[in-house]
Amino acid sequence: MTGWLGRLLVERLIRLAWLLPLAMAGLFTLVSLAPVDPITAYVGARVADVGPDQRAAIAQAWGLDAPAPERFALWLGHIARGDLGSSITFNAPVAEVLADRAGASLTLIALAFVISFAVGLGLGLTAAATRGRWPDRAIRGFAVVLTASPGFWVALLLIALFAVGLGWLPSCCAAPPGLTADEADLAARLNHLILPAATLSVVGTGPLILHSRARAAAFLESPAARHLAAHGARPGWLVWRPGLRHALGPALAVHLAGTGELIGGSVLAETVFAWPGLGQATVRAALGADAPLLLGIALATLVVVFLGNLAADIAARLLDPRLRQA
């Protein structure tokens, strides 16, 4: 019974084996070609005090004067030893920055994932249950509006409404002013999590509503549903039991496969809400020409997206036995 899982894992490991070097070469090329000068970024405001000789000395100390292939080989060698380099902007090893900030980002992304999955599946099934009638049309309209709404705009709307207008929720940060996240109690931390998570959940909800609706509706119109209905199954039961079962696999697969979009959305959400996660670090690294941190975040993102896609494939096969044979 578990033969399919072993086959899938081997197949994906092979894919990772060529994908990772390819992505690393691509990332390195992009960062090398980027029109930012790490020395200028490092020197910052003291630019007037630093002459050409000193710049050359820094470049030599960092190995920036070596040809690109040599620098790439050096970088690969360091990564192979588990050394991702040091972040200029945070003045700390990249691995440490990643470890410090991954928790905040993963909390945000996980909560957004759960919210959009529950809302998307729930609304999708409700639409399927009332298909052709006004709740269905309203939900489909809502899904299209959600899909078309940029994340930063939703964030600003939410802040205007819940933080400024109603004053119910904080508009920024992971903890009350003056406290670190560790000092704040759980209630305060959850309170700060709601708006960023709601913003981020907007990304995946629209497609999920339409997908769940389509799958559940296809089941409800299938001969299998008619067979059950002919022998006493009520419409509500058909939607929320076997209908939910039919929508669950495709919905979870689509949602997990959208991990990349969720991470992309988290960069925006973390910036707008000053959330101390990797998304915010990405923006600071990009603005500060912090090549080691950018590369480290990109590699971590690559692994997370890869794992998300792998989880999508496993979920799809677990929930639909017909897919296990291929």
Partner 1 sequence: MLRVEDLSVAFRQHDGRLTRPLAGVSLTVASGDCAGLIGGSGAGKSLIAEALTGTLPRNAELSGRIGVSGRIALAPQAVTALDPLARAGTQIARMARLAGRRADPAALMARLGLPEAALRAYPHELSGGMAKRVLIATALATGAGTLIADEPTLGLDPGAADRIMALLAGLAAEGTGVLIISHDLPRLVATTTRVTVLREGRPVETVPAAAFPEGLTHPFTRALWDAQTWTATEWAEAC
Q: Helices 278-287 and 94-129: crossing angle, nearest 10°?
A: 120
CA dist., res. 170 & res. 189, Å (int) = 10
CB of 234 to partner 1, least distance (A): 9
103/321 with CB nearer partner 1 = 321
2/325 with CB nearer partner 1 = 325
**Pair of tokens at residue 276:** 């101390």
CB of 212 to partner 1, least distance (A): 15
Are 292 and 90 in contact by the 8 Å Cβ rule? The answer is: no
Q: Which of 117, 120, 182 is nearest to 146 (CA)?
A: 120
CB of 120 to partner 1, least distance (A): 20
Q: Which residues would be at the binding site for partner 1 (CB under 8 A)?
A: 222-224, 226-233, 242, 245-246, 249, 319-322, 325
91/325 with CB nearer partner 1 = 325
**Pair of tokens at residue 177:** 């002013």
196/243 with CB nearer partner 1 = 243
77/321 with CB nearer partner 1 = 321
Give me the DSSP letters along 194-257. HHHHHHHHHHHHHHHHHHHHHHHHHHHTSHHHHHHHHTT--HHHHIIIIIHHHHHHHHHHHHHH
Q: Which of 262, 270, 254, 250 is nearest to 304 (CA)?
A: 262
CB of 9 to partner 1, least distance (A): 23
**Pair of tokens at residue 75:** 């970088």
CB of 15 to partner 1, least distance (A): 27
User: What is the gyration radius of the CA atoms in the chain, in angstroms?
Assistant: 24
1/45 with CB nearer partner 1 = 1
51/232 with CB nearer partner 1 = 232
CB of 18 to partner 1, least distance (A): 33
CA dist., res. 158 & res. 168, Å (int) = 11
CB of 320 to partner 1, least distance (A): 6
CB of 289 to partner 1, least distance (A): 52
CA dist., res. 255 & res. 123, Å (int) = 15
**Kind plus residue range of the DSSP H or E element containing 2:** none
Are 314 and 110 in contact by the 8 Å Cβ rule? The answer is: no
**Pair of tokens at residue 166:** 């109603």
The one-character DSSP state at 50 is -
CB of 143 to partner 1, least distance (A): 24
Looking up tokens 């945070």 gives 90
180/325 with CB nearer partner 1 = 325
78/234 with CB nearer partner 1 = 234
CA dist., res. 198 & res. 41, Å (int) = 35
